[in-house]
Structure 1
Amino acid sequence: MTNPSGSYGDEPLVTVSVSGDDGSGNAGSYRIKAPAGASASSTRWIMPGETVDIGDLSIERGFFYVGDFRRARPGPVDACVVDTGAQVAQEGANPAADIGILPPAYTTLSAEERRTYLEWLASPRRKSDIHTRYLFLHLFGFERRVLLDGAAGRVSEAEYGEMTRELQRMLNLDADYSWQRHVRNLLEIIGLMTARTGKVYDQAPPNGSATGYQVPLNVRVAFGQAALDNHPVPAGWALAWVKLDPMMIRRAAVTRCPDEFDRVFVRRYRERFHEGMLVPVNRTRLNVLPQPAFKALQNVPLPGFLLGLPDVAAVTGPRNRLQLLMNESADALGAFSRYLGRNPEAYGSLEATLMLPPDVWPDATRDAIAALAAEVSGATRLTTFGALLSRFKVMGTLTRDKLASFNAALAQAGIAVEPDVRLGARTPKPDDAVALFVAPATSALAHTDDAYVVATLMVDLAAAVARADGAASAAEIALIEREIAAWSHLEPLQQTRLKARNLVQLQQAVSGAGLKKKLEPLPAAVKQAIACFLVQTANADGTVSREEVKLLEKIYRMLDLDPQRLYIDLHQGASAASGSGGVRAAGARRVAGAVKTGKVPKAGAHDARSTNEGFVLDTARIAALQQETARVSAILADVFVEEQPAVAVEASNAQDAVEPDEPEEVAPAPGALLGLDDAHSTFLRLLVSRPAWTRAELADAAADLELMLDGAIEQVNEASLDHWDEPLTDGDDPVEINQDLAQRLAA
């Protein structure tokens, strides 16, 4: 198939025939030969899909010129044209041998060298098959097509696209610097030519890394056009500048985690400049020089739309602003980059991902969170901590800081976790139960206060009582949830979290460690309200088991209540639920007596009329329990309003575990190191006292200073980076100390 766009005006096509599918059904190959009497040369650009036969060789891959110069003298720009009238040998020359001609031209090649070149054109065109000078001869054809035919408007956008793809493939055929530079230059020119009817800054920006010694031409043209038009520079072109400008100072994060850097930079660029940075028009004009390898094309005039543009690379203002933004973006990835530097195989793991800003997390992690959010949207989901982590790529054990970051990221997706280490909970073990429920999408922590902490104690104790006999009944669970819903002094989100907490605690034993210490500060009225709530829970299913009584006695002692009072409370609770006389009151007394002697009716009684088998909830009982719930809630609300209990809240706000606050700018205390506060200065002095530490040893040291270990190490390393551009520590267990920095500190 012939390509009309490849013709030169009215040049006759009398000596070259090109085959293809022209729609007539006459597809086939035609040998190129000069008819007798040819009086003028013919030059044609061959595109892929067209077949050219020269001697016994068929060439189908296109991207070269053919012509016949037996009756016409070739001009300087015809060095790249395959002369169909030139002699071709039956055997080629050594393809790896240097043809020794600068610049090479097809007509000056020997017959054997022409054979070698044509065989390469007919092959898949790999570098291993031919010397670099043959590659340049082939490149000359591309340059002529772009700079002559393209400038004259004879090349379509589709053809530019095909040439771009072929040149990108050819770029890595040879590592020779000159070859790569000229191919890249031509790709830039093609990019500019495709924008001849529009603006370069509206095109897709280039990608890659800095080469050479100046900003690529297409980037400077895009910035120059934006300056002239007073148009904001799009984020993609700003990113192209910082990545392709060889004058830019790039930190390790830019090259070590390029995808993450791109996303962080673009986000921060848009936050800072909104639609884009405005670039002033400076005086220096941009000198657009194609710099082709083909010498005959070096003085070809450029299209007018590339003339008169300001050269933004000649001023420092835009570059300095982009450098600052690049540094800030790299800083945001500092911890992630250093972690990958030590653990390159950890890329994509949850541990590494948690060091990234959530909005630049990998797509796989985002997809896993989205799937989890869809599952949780219907109802609270109860699972184990190990099962939750198995949905993500976890390489080892998550530290408390990383788990806090993980919970914060889930919170941003509208998924709340109970227990949450950010609210002071201990780090769950793989088999521990966790509840996931819907919450407003925010990274902010839920509000916690003394009232909420007391409520968590009540829920934990009630869950322990409910499951004391092996499993909580539906009636006990329903009562606890009704009680939570009636606590009007709590916020709705707090109530939702308490219900989730109840489900978790019903799945596993409640630890009694430190429970007495938490209960001691409570006022007497709150302790009595808790006792009343627990008795209600035990009575909820109509049967109080021996195990429930034993646990209630222990709790009464923790509450500084007389254990003997328990039996009165159980009797009164049963009476209140059963009515004021008759069979139920008598039954309640018998149950109380049985509880006291250890002979308690078994759970699961079904006949409400049989007092020997326990109690069964009915409508009157439910109403009575709801009234009792309201009474307890009123007591609690009054206490919380009139007298705030001095409850020690365990790390009720663990925001520091997610992102440490910036320290206030104060004058360093005497003895402070690297601008750190007293605690971290002491920790630093301790670190440099040894060449290496085990993690357990450092955990003890951090605990003595009331510091979180990972946060303390991170802060020390950040201070070290600010002063010396190197972290002080390396590794996780053992933690090794940079001895060069330790000596600098000692000096």
Structure 2
Amino acid sequence: MEFLVTLIVAAVLIRLIKFYYAPSKKEAQLVITGVPGYTPASLKEASWMWIPPGRGFTFRGYEIPDGMLYVGDRMRDFTGSNEACLVDPALPVAAKGTPFERTGIVFPRYDRLTPEQRGGFLSWLGEGRRGAVDHAWLLLFLYGVERRLFVDGPRANIPMREQDRLAAEIRELMETYGEIRSFRGQCKNLLAASWASHGVFAEIPDYVDFTDRFCSGAFNVIFSLYVAGGRPIPAEVALQWIRLHPEHVKGTMMRRFPSEFERLFINGYSQRFGEGIFIHNNRTSLSFVYRGANPSFGNGVKLTVPSLPEPFLLDTPLKQIRTLACDCADAIRNDNSKGHDLDAVHGEDRDLLESLDDDHRELMARLASKTLWPRGEFLSACEELSVLPDPSIELINSWAFITGGLPLIEDGDPLFVDMELLREIFVGDNPGKESGMRTGGMKE
């Protein structure tokens, strides 16, 4: 009996020793190179790890030379779900060389890709992130960089050199794949927010583009710099703010006649405010919401710039800018030499939406319900209707330009939908005319 008990105890001890010293399933699939002693052994204790720039890894036969990824099986986001960008070594991946599948996914997540799609993503990473690409792969990589900079960054002391390396990679990706409008805007947004959160404002780098509506949140830094320096807000800065927020100007005149609007605004600003609107300095730190591409961010991540004051504690300065902008738009509207003649469109007894298929008609009807669309809501609508976001915006804007002389949608986060343009197209100058659109669907 004692001998039997001894055998059982010995067997249990052997199993425990094997379990403790054997590589985990995650570790067995992952070999990290580049720095001696840097191994995935920590995955036994932690559920995820960040592989920084310059550190390569081999993953199920795929050699990834330059890190910049999260690896693991559990990393919660702000919604309580697993982080979309997390590369899980336990998930199956097609063998290297297998033809990859296009995804066509609006909200890509690594854990929801097929093995072939994961293989395509890893192949693209292995090629140095410069080969043929699926839009989903760009987003998955961007998700991880956003998480590293704007979630982990404020929590941990990430070296500035690493932050600069991540920003440089995003700039290169933007140059390589910048023909994708939304990706280009999302990259610009990340670069602007990264620059703003660094707190070094000697000059604005040439890669920071505050003419893009994706960067409207970080643009508040420009206002704050003038406040911190005790200087008035120049007309050009006020004009750019209103361009980034077209929802504050009623009608289409600002967008139809941008040069005339600029002339009237600059002159009117000088007449009303002299050198500019002066905003008093204060002790409240500047903060803005970063609305990135990563769906894990929910309604956005609040970023704080302790070295700069909050310029918009009072609404008065922005109200003055909005009032002037509306006055300029009214002046253009009242000028008989201006205007946009839609009589040819309104006079035709035909379906103005005949060039759009049923899905894009439905998308148009949904967009017609409000002026500002959080990008996540717009993407959800596209996913529900099984249409791709960027091509849909391009198609609808082409339709709007033909029928109304202007694009309907200005991309960004939120998207701007020109409701006044829709009114002009479908109703014209006759407020009693019945619209050909209704919220939630198309008129039969």
TM-score (norm 1): 0.31
Which structure has the larger Rg? 1
TM-score (norm 2): 0.49
Structure number with the higher strand fraction is 2
Structure number with the bigger relative contact order (C-alpha 8 A, sep ≥ 6) is: 2
